Structure formats: C-alpha cells, structure tokens
Structure 1
Amino acid sequence: MHLSENEGIENNAFVVTGGLGFLGSALCLELLRRGARQVRAFDLRSSSPWSTLLTHKGVQCIRGDIVRKQDVERAFRGADCVFHLASFGMSGKEMLQFGRIDDVNITGTCHVLDACLHHGIKRLVYVSTYNVVFGGQQIINGNETLPYFPLDDHVDPYGRSKSIAEQLVLKYNGRPFKNKNGNCLCTCVLRPAAIYGPGEERHLPRIITLARLGLLLFRIGDHRVKSDWVYVDNLVLSLILASMGLLDDKPGNGEPPIAAGQAYFISDGSPVNTFEFIQPLLRSLGYQLPNSSLSVDHALVLGKVFWVVYTILYPCLNCWWLPQPFILPSEVHKVGVTHYFSYLKAKEEIGYVPMVTPREGMSATISYWQERKRRTLDGPTIYVWLFCVIGMVSLYSAAFLPDIGLVPRIRDISLFFFRSLWMTRLVFFLSAAAHIIEAFFAWHLAKRVDPANASGWFWQTFVLGFFSLRFLLKRASE
C-alpha cells in the first residue's frame, strides 16, 4: 500500500460495534487521535469502565442490540467504515448459551452486512478468531492457506458461529450497494490471537481470580506447548491498517483494494507457553503458578464434566451467584495444544508489524494489575474462608444448638478438644470477641490506608479475623 499514516481516517465517520469493550474503546480513541470526523461506539451496554472516557473524548455512544436490525441500521447511517468487533460466547458461562451465541455472531453479522449495503458503507473490517481454523489439532506457524475447521467438529458453538460469520463477511466482499450507484462493499477479516493489556476483561481477570482464591491447581499440557498472544495496541494498529487496505490506492486500475476479501492472522509474533507467559504477572501480584501438571486428555475430561454441570444449570447461567466454570473443553485446547500462526501476509499486504513487544506489553499489564490490586480488597484463599466459616458455625452449633442432625457429632468432636461444654462456649465467646475487636481495628486502620474499602475490610475481618487483618497490615506497611 502507498498511503499516508491517516489515509481513510481523517474526516471520515466510523462505527465500532462492541465499542464499549476493551478492544473497541481502544480503537475508538485511536480513530479520534488520527483525526476521524466522527466515531460511534455501538454496544448493548449503556456503560462500561471506558464509557466515561469515550464520551469525554467525543465518541458518540449508541446503545443497541446487534440482533435488532433496526438498531444496527440506525447506528450505521452516514458512516464511511465499520469495524465489527461485537461477539458473544468467547469464554466462561457465555460459551454454553448456544442461542445467544448464534444470534449475536451470525444473525448480528448478517444485520451488519445488510446495513452496510443499505447505507452504502464501502469498508467493513471484521474481527474473527483463530478458532475458525483451529479445533484442537497442532498447528505450527500456520498461515491463511489453512482450510476452515469442519463446522460439525467444533467443540463449542463460539468457534462454529465465528467461522460461519467470517465466511459470510468474505462472501459479501465486492457485493454492489442496494442503491446501485456502481460502488460495492469491500470487506476483510482479522483473526487475532488471545488479547492482553491493561484493562483486558476476559482472560487475565479469570486467571488472576483463580490464583487469588487458590484454585489455580495445575498447569495443562506439556511445558513445550506454545500459542500466540497479541497486545491490544498491536491489534488496534492492525485494524487501522486493515481499514486502509480496503481503500482504492490506485484508482482506475480496475484492481480491487489489496485487503478486499482477505483474512489475516494477527499476533505479537512471539509464541509462548501460556503459563510461562502469565507467570511474571502472577508473581508481581504475590501469586504462584502450580508446579503440578495435568495432561490434555485428563483436562478434557474435567472440562466435559463442567460442561455437563453448567448445561444442567443453564437457566441460572446469568445469575450473579453462579461462578465461572473452572475450565471448558475448548479452553483446554487453547492452553494445552500448540497452535500459532505467522502474520507474514498481514505484514506484506497491509504493512502490519507489532509496535509493542511482549516484554513492553506485559510490563504495562503488570503495572495496571498492581495498581488495581492496591485499589481493591485483598484477602486469603477460599480454603481460609471455608476454615473460618465452617469452624465458627461448628463451634456455635456445638456450644448452643440442641441435638439435631449433625450437631451431636460436631459436639463430640468439640468435647474431644475442649473437654467440656463450658470450655467450648468460652472458646466461642473468645473467638467471636477477637473477631469483633479485629474487625473494628481493621475498619479504623483502613480509614487511614484504604478508605475506599474500609467497609469491606471491616466485614471481611469480622468473618476471617487475623487471616484478613494481616493483608491490611501488609498494605499499611507498604
């Protein structure tokens, strides 16, 4: 391509579906920085961690559902280029909501394509996934000549739906507009690796939560397994370049734009073992990776168990109290099977070269999470919670409840340790008093060192006692 740095961006109007998300917000801000006349963030949510900043910078936030055709057509009116980022079902509980996945990823994409044709929007960049060609088989330095993974063999509906949507997007390339003005729609597809960076919402928060709770019990697969990651700024750059690749930089030559009808793999270009990749981040937060490892076959069995359990709990998937599944089969493949791809085609055709190295990207991510940890309530593992809660409830039951259910057995155990009912009651009162005193001390100390979370420190210390207080004391010493 022979285009200037901001060709096709300055004085143009853009729509970013999923624009209030992690990637979408970064793209919106970059478009504004490069001189876009108007940027619209089209999203189902009315707010997100980035919505205030986007509004302040001048992004027009439009709330709507991509499944509703009228919402899409309303948001797209007058746009020059669309970045279609919105998707559903990438990880966790979302992966089991089959109907919603197809609605958003397939039906929603159809609405995007129809709206582009209806409004005469010349450029559409679609964000796809590695999963359109990867389904658990080993791929080393793959490229865009690889065939699509068979639709019926996908282990999750997300990969299947994204594959269908991608093929639709590429099929629509070159299709004339409905007003028959002689122009046509140009489309291209980016297939990014797992995304990371400050504020990433899906991969790292889930891993860090498991580590904090003490539930990151094992690694999956061999230590030689490698896969790709892509830093958010690198992916934003590739999106910008892809949109430029849909411009006709040589008018009148009869050739389509270089990126029209093409798919590109996008990554940092440094395949690495997932667990080795996240290790510096976990260590910086005071967590450790487990030394034990689980084979892919055994991990798949575990993933299928969680798949069955959460399928049974389908009506409750959107309930706040239902935690994310520990792991699902497609996630086992992502971390336990080698699959990485070359971005050579993207480099040669649209000029993509990662501008942020993995070391720089992880350094920025670590800084973000360290600051986030300082601003949030910290605490012990789930095992400490179980020990304290079950211990205090058992002690109370043994000391005061009548002989019903399991109470006699609990009382027998307490009498074995404390020798008398009177001593059991005394231990309970002393323990409760200690927890109350520690809770008020924690509240008083938190007012000075962490006022935003003072109430949280009070209640956590009330339940856990010194097991919670020691985290606050450590924060105060820092």
Structure 2
Amino acid sequence: MLFFDLTQIEIMIGDIVQKKDVERAVRGADCVFHIASFGMSGKEMLQIGRVDEININGTCHIIDACLEYGVQRLVYVSTYNVVFGGKEIVNGNETLPYLPMDDHVDPYGRGKSIAEQLVLKSNGRPLKKKNGKFLYTCAVRPAAIYGPGEERHLPRIVFLAKLGLLPFKIGDPSVKTDWIYVDNLVLALILASMGLLDDIPGKGRHPIAAGQPYFVSDGSPINTFEFVRPLLRSLGYDLPKTSLAVQHALLLGRIFWAIYTMLYPWLNKWWLPQPLILPAEVYKVGITHYFSFLKAKEELGYIPMVTPREGMAATISYWQEKKKKSMDGPTIYAWLFCVIGMTTLFCAAYLPDIGPVPLLRGFSLFIFRSMWIMRMVFLLSVAAHIGEAAYAWHLAKRVDPANSRGWFWQTFALGFFSLRFLLKRARKLA
C-alpha cells in the first residue's frame, strides 16, 4: 500500500476545457496523469459537443501545457474502444490497428481514439523551457473499472437492479469481457509513469514506454452478468434468468438513442433519467472482447496485485456498507402502481369532466360501482398512507435516523410497499 503525506497534496478545482485552469494545474509537475473524460456511458454519451470538447480539446490543452511548462512525462488513460467497435476480439494486443473513425458506434470511442493518437504522436516533442529535454508520453488502455467508489459501471447496474429494471441478460452466456480493479489500474499507471523516465541507469536515454499503448486488466475475462452476480446477490437483488439476443438488444438501444436524441436540450438535467441501454453498451456486454496485458507485464512489470475474488469482496463490502446508510425501497412497478393508481382515483372522484377524466371515471365506476365508494376508498387510502408515513418516521428515528425524513415521504407515497423495507431493517437491528 502506498502512503502519502496529505499535507503535501494540493487540490485544485478547475475545468479541463479552460486552458488557464489546465496550465495552473500542471505548472511545476514532473508527471501528468490525464484521467479526465466524459461520455463513457448513459445519456452523457449523446452529448456529442461536450464529449469532444472534453476528450479532444481538453487533451490538447493538457499536451500544450506540458510542453509549455516543462512536464517531461504524460500518462494518458485511454480505453479499449480505440480498437473495439462491436466485433469479437479474443486475447487482442497492441498490434491491432485503430478502429476507423467512421466505424465507431459512439462519440466517446471516437474522441478517445483521436485523443490517444494526439498524445502518442506528441511523444518526443521538445519542451519549451528545458533545453535538451523532451515530452515522453504513453497510453494505458484499461478494461472496465470496478471497486469501492467507482461511479460509472456498477452504480448504474445496482440502481437498475434495485428498481427491477434488469429484465434480461444480453448476449450468449459464453460472451466474455475484461474488468480491472481500481488498485490494479493505479499500479499500472504508476508503472507507466516510471516507464517514461529517461534517467534510469542501464536503461539508456530512451524510455521503454515512450510512445507506447498498453492494455491492462485483471487478466480474468468473464461474462458481465456473471461478474456482477455476487454483488447483486449480496445486496438482495435478483439477476435476470432470461437472455435477449444482441440484435434485439441493439434494436432496443437504438430506440432509446432516438428518444434521448430528441431530448438533447435536457440531457444535462438531473431530472432526466438514464436510458435503459444504448447501442454502444449492448456491444460492451454482448460481444466478446478481451485483451492480453503481456506487453505491460514485459515492459512495465505489471502484474495485478489484487485478484478478482479479492477485488469483488472489497467491492461487495463497500456496497453493503453503502446500502446500510441509504434507504431501501420497492421496484419501479410499485411506484407506478401507487402513483398512477392514486392519481387516477383522485381524478375520477373529484375532477370535472375534462380531458380524459370521463374515461378514468368510467373505469373507476366499473370497479367501485359508485362515486361515494370511490371517494371513500381514496380518502381511506390517503389516511392509511399518512398513518403509515407517521409510523415510518417514528420508527426510522430509532433504526435509521439519518433518513427518517426520506422514509416518511417514501412511505407516504407508497404505503406498505415502503414500510415493509423499514420493518425488515428494524428486525435486523433487533
């Protein structure tokens, strides 16, 4: 484990598309790790202008700042997508050519490919303020990243599982992809930075990693859905048993792509949920693609220090602790049943005959037979929800005080669908 003197670490907040912020950040540095990117998954993937602005223009700012302020080493965090575009790759390596620009299925992969090539072609350029010194660059191409605190892959999968929105697996069970635990990626980045040093005795003046790309992973390709199974099971969520063929999943992904393209002006709004799946994500989970890290092993000395079993155990521990601090809840179907049901009942019982109200009223009368019964059912339901919400607030004050207000409002909306989760938590603490 690496230990740092936190008093010697300076934290700066800036924007990679602002050249002055980038210059302020790299000034005085010996090595820059360019990790920032945007648009890897979800609705962010469709914000094409912002994807290119950050991934391409931001990278140009990094390169320019390194040259201007005498930074000798630049390690770029790239992606498998610079060579992968939906066609099977088994045990690939760095000799594979870049995917043609027109073959990329999303702007993220295209932008990262352009950025990586800019970084590698900048290798060996002379530094402006250090005569006789050069900028040395390399690119690390990691697999899908997981581990405590990861914010792109597993949080979305867990969220969908919690809502009951993982109705199917995608692709054949034999499909395999790579993953990399966060500590292994950090190790690879440190080794890559050391591979750019030009003053190591016996190594000559040309760094071994200069101008080179490297694939890195845990070295254990696995089906994505089998990979997340232990995590979902530990959290009490179910993994779907049925599978959807890749071509059908692609059709679904293209439908979501079309819908969210029409919603482009609001893609950066917090209230717009993530699409269920997009075409590029279908390829990532439904098509076999994994790579050898032999080059990184031979040239950098990279060997994963955390096994997949250890990495998943740490990830499960993190998510279980996170779940204890957050609210449990039912699937989205319970939300739809309660919210739509109560709204329909209110409209049918109290609103005048406007718009769809007569249709809703006719349907409700078919069930409840009279307006009086309909209104009584609505009032009794509201009273029951208020009573359950009050009890939930009182109980949460004892078993989950940090979320007592949230339990009140969730139970007010969902009634016993929500309360049963709080009662289950109370029984565990008893």
TM-score (norm 2): 0.96
Structure 1 equivalent of residue 13 of structure 2 = 63
Q: 2:311 aligns with which of 332, 345, 361?
A: 361
Structure 2 CA distance for partners of 1:250 and 1:443, relative to 1, 3 Å:
closer
Amino acid at match of 2:128: K
Aligned pairs, number: 428
Structure 2 equivalent of residue 194 of structure 1 = 144
Structure 1 equivalent of residue 127 of structure 2 = 177
Aligned-partner Cα distance in 1 for 2:371–2:65: 75
Amino acid at match of 1:126: Y
Q: 1:234 aligns with which of 184, 204, 215?
A: 184
Q: What are the within-5 Å matches in structure 2 for residues 45-124 of structure 1?
A: 58-124=8-74
| Shift in Å, 1:59 | 2.6
Aligned-partner Cα distance in 1 for 2:4–2:350: 70
Q: Deviations over 1:319-363 (max 9, x none)?
A: 111111111111111000000000111111111000111111111
Structure 1 equivalent of residue 157 of structure 2 = 207
Q: Deviations over 1:268-318 (max 9, x none)?
A: 000000000001111111111111111111111111111111111111011
Q: 1:413 aligns with which of 341, 363, 379?
A: 363
Q: Deviations over 1:246-272 (max 9, x none)?
A: 113545875411111111101000000
Q: 1:327 aligns with which of 260, 277, 284?
A: 277
Aligned-partner Cα distance in 2 for 1:300–1:413: 37
Provide the alpha-carbon RMSD of the alignment.
1.6
Amino acid at match of 2:101: L
Structure 2 equivalent of residue 132 of structure 1 = 82
Q: Deviations over 1:32-86 (max 9, x none)?
A: x267xxxxxxxxxxxxxxxxxxxx6653111222112222112111111111101
Structure 1 equivalent of residue 238 of structure 2 = 288
Structure 1 equivalent of residue 226 of structure 2 = 276
Structure 2 CA distance for partners of 1:183 and 1:249, relative to 1, 3 Å:
closer
Structure 2 CA distance for partners of 1:249 and 1:465, relative to 1, 3 Å:
same
Aligned-partner Cα distance in 2 for 1:144–1:212: 38
Contact 2:70 2:130 in 1 (8 A): no
Structure 2 equivalent of residue 45 of structure 1 = none
Matched, 1:259 2:209: yes
| Shift in Å, 1:407 | 2.6
Aligned-partner Cα distance in 2 for 1:410–1:98: 42
Aligned-partner Cα distance in 1 for 2:187–2:240: 35
Contact 2:199 2:205 in 1 (8 A): no
Structure 2 equivalent of residue 425 of structure 1 = 375
Aligned-partner Cα distance in 1 for 2:220–2:79: 18
Instruction: Return 5+ residue gaps in structure 1 as ranges.
Output: 1-28, 36-55
Amino acid at match of 1:244: M
Structure 2 CA distance for partners of 1:79 and 1:399, relative to 1, 3 Å:
same
Q: Secondary structure at the match of 1:147?
A: coil
Structure 1 equivalent of residue 321 of structure 2 = 371
Structure 2 equivalent of residue 142 of structure 1 = 92
Q: Secondary structure at the match of 2:180?
A: strand
Structure 1 runs, 4 residues or longer, greater than 6 Å off: none
| Percent identity for Structure 1 against Structure 2 | 74
Structure 2 equivalent of residue 403 of structure 1 = 353
Structure 2 equivalent of residue 474 of structure 1 = 424
Instruction: Return 5+ residue gaps in structure 2 as ranges.
Output: none
